[in-house]
Each structure stands twice: as structure tokens, then as C-alpha cells.
Amino acid sequence: MSKFRLRFLCAAVFAIGSIVGAEAQSLVVNGYFDCQRATNGRTYCKRQGVPTASQWTPVGEDFFVKYEAARTGMVPAPTPPTIVTKQASSEVTNNVIVVNMTTEAADAKGQIRVFEKLLNEQNALMAQSGETYSLAESIKEIQTRLDAERSVLHDKTVELSKYQSTIKPDDADSAITARRESEIQTKIPYYIPGTKETGEFWVEPLVNDEGELQFKFHFVDVESDSANKIRSTITMTADEMTKSKSALLKAGEDSKKAHDKGVRREVSVRLVCFPEADCPPEGQKLKGKASTEVEFEVHEDGSTNARIQRNKGEFEEGYNVSIGSALLLQAYINHVLTTGVQEHEMGSASTEKLKEMFK
């Protein structure tokens, strides 16, 4: 064999080894790789074929466990049979019950804190702009949810008092601080008309690489078994969030008007659409353009709802919400918008501007 052919074969073997090594370093499962747990406790993976700036995608805990098992090759060993006494079995059962109830109590306590903030903010808006039907109904909706969560917390606390356990009494508070408000608040439901599919909203504030504040309006499919439970996302600016909030409040006012007038016909009214340059005429499609709109709908049985619709050229993707959920959603949007803008302003302020605050 000539020296040239020998060098060529060696180079080829080295190149193949390098490729295999690179692939081994980045395990890919269902199009996701480099999965990690963030400091907020949520699990994220990078997604193939997505630009580097937006590769990180939230994934479910079950998928993360499977990924880690595949990455490390660690398969849980079967538990050897053991003889469990009746007393030991009872203690294990009691501990499981206590842990589950403590988690549920923590979740309820976290919900209570968020609803209390929403309630204070809506009351402040009413004091500032005057009472309107939609604001009054929003406050009622929040109060109803708040009372329900307080009842859950009371019941869980009573049940926990019946068990003797080594769990610290402040565990619930510790669990709450590990949860982000935006994740707790994904319990505002939507439904897809004509199907049995339902889900929940999650509005996530973020700052892009250009330093601009944006909001990802996620539609979460909580029943999905896929790694990423987010079925669709609409990215909005702060101004578009404000327009969406106002439109949802208008839907509340329109619902009252429809019930007062006894409207029982299929009617759909566009409340807002953005960006305006890409919005088709109402009820029509615009090929090659994407836009978002909020609509108010009345049906033949007299029921009403709001609808968040994403126009993708000639295709539309719609998510309906009851009027009660629409009013709760506008309160949630107001909360996320307020805190998001405040954090962005403080994070973007110069040292000189910050010093001016304390003069």
C-alpha cells in the first residue's frame, strides 16, 4: 500500500471518529438535545433546526427523566422483594399522603398569593378609571377563584393536622418560593371549538437579544404526552398586550349588552387586530400575512365568548374562552404586563438614572 493511500485512510478514520464523538456528546431524543434543569426548577432542551437564540424550549418532567436515563445509561434497578410489616406499610402510606397534601397545599397557597395581587390591581384600576361592568365582573371572578383556593388550603391544612409526620410545617412556603408566578397562573382555560380539546394560558415575559421587552403568549396542552406541551405561541409587544387586555374587557361589556338585548343569532365581531398592516378585512383572509385578533362571539343559544385567533395566511388557528375566563385573563395580562415593564425598565436603566432615584 502506498504512503498516500495509507495517509488518506488514516485521515478518514480520524474524521469518522470525530463525528461519532461529537454526536455522542449531544444525545438527540425526538429532536431535542442538551436537556438541563434551570435554576427555577423547570426543565429545558435545545431543539434541532431552531436558531441558536431561541433553541431553549421547556419540556415536561417525564420527558426529562427519559432523556437523562438515555444519556447516562442508568436504568433503575428492580426493587428486591421485601417483607413489609403492617406498621411499616401504614407509615409509608401516611408519608405519601402527607407529601401529596403538602404539595397541594403549597400550590393552593401560591394561587392565593397571585389572586390577591390580581384583586388589588383590579381594585386600583377601578379606583383610577371608575367602575365599569367588566372591571366589576373581573373582581367577582377573581374573588370566586380566591375563595375556592382558600377553601382548598383550609381543607388540606385540616387533613394534614390528622397525621404525625417529620415534614416541617414551613414546607409549603418553601415550595411556593420555588414556583414562578407565570407558571402558577397557567390555570385560565381555553377550548378549541368543534373539538373536545382544552388547555391553559401561560404568558411569559422576556427580553430579546436586541433588549426589547416581549411577551410569549403560550397555549399549553396540559393533557399532551409530548416533550413540549406548548401547542402554539404568539409573541406580542407590550403595546399589543395592552390592546389584547382592552379587547377582553370590551368582550365583557359586549356580553352584557347581548344578554340584555336577548341576542340569539350567530354573530362574530372583531375587537382588535395587529399588526394592522398585516390584518385582512374582517371575515376575510390575506395570503402570506400573519396577524393576531381578538373577537367577540354570540351563538344561537344566547351564549357568548371571546376568541383569540392567529391568522396564518389563509389558515386560522382559534382558541375560545368563556367571558368569565376572558375577564380573568385580562387581569392576568395586566399583572404580567405591569411587572414585566417594571423589571425591564429597572434592568435597562443606566447607573446615573438609578442614582437619580435616591437623590
Instruction: Decide if 163 contacts 97 (C-beta within 8 A).
Output: yes
Please check whether residues 157 and 199 belong to one and the same domain.
no
For residues 129 and 224, the model is more confident at: 129
How many residues are listed for the chain in this entry? Answer: 359
pLDDT digits over 108-161, tens only? 887 888 889 999 999 999 999 888 999 999 999 999 989 998 998 888 888 777
Please check whether residues 228 and 342 belong to one and the same domain.
yes
pLDDT digits over 155-189, tens only? 888 877 776 554 444 444 444 332 355 555 557 89
Distance CA 58, CA 298 (A): 36
Instruction: Decide if 287 contacts 313 (C-beta within 8 A).
Output: yes
86 part of a folded domain: no
356 part of a folded domain: no
For residue 112, the tally of other CB atoms under 10 A from its CB is 19
pLDDT digits over 188-198, tens only? 899 998 888 89
Instruction: Decide if 229 contacts 221 (C-beta within 8 A).
Output: yes
Please check whether residues 140 and 239 belong to one and the same domain.
no
Distance CA 128, CA 294 (A): 25
Domain end marker among 179, 197, 216? 179
Name the 3-class secondary structure at 23: helix
222 part of a folded domain: yes
For residues 347 and 8, the model is more confident at: 347
Please check whether residues 155 and 42 belong to one and the same domain.
no
CB within 8 A of 242, min separation 6: which ones? 337
Q: What is the DSSP string of 75-135?
A: -PPPPPP----HHHHHHHHHHHHHHHHHHHHHHHHHHHHHHHHHHHHHHHHHHHH---HHH
Paired strand residues for 201: 219
Range of the domain at 148: 91-179
Distance CA 205, CA 241 (A): 11
